[in-house]
Amino acid sequence: MHNEYMANDAAMTIRIPSSLKRRLEARAEEQHRSLSAQVAADLESVLDSLTQSGVKGRFLGLYEGTAVPTDDDIEEVRSLLWGHVSRLEGRV
């Protein structure tokens, strides 16, 4: 587990909504941590819980064992969608 006393291993810059930053800052203050330490702790906690629950990600593993769509399948769906959109635009 990372804490504020550990040496920095890596740095990264990300853009987040200001409302999320305010929430993280509030959590950091409640936990008596720096913002950086709070973000690291929260990320580690989320990743640990995902690992323990067996969740592979939002879509990863969701369709495990099912057929992979072919290029023709994708083209057919694209044609159906664009045809539907064109018909809707004609109604306006």
Q: How confident is the model at residue 57 (pLDDT cuts 50, 70, 90)?
A: low
Residue 62's pLDDT is 63
Cα 47 from Cα 28, distance rounded (Å):
19
> Which tens digits make up the pLDDT trace of 33-46?
999 999 999 999 98
> Which tens digits make up the pLDDT trace of 58-92?
566 666 677 777 888 888 888 888 877 667 766 65
Task: Please calculate the CA angle 68-69-70 and round it to the nearest 5 degrees.
Answer: 115
Under DSSP, the state recorded for 58 is S
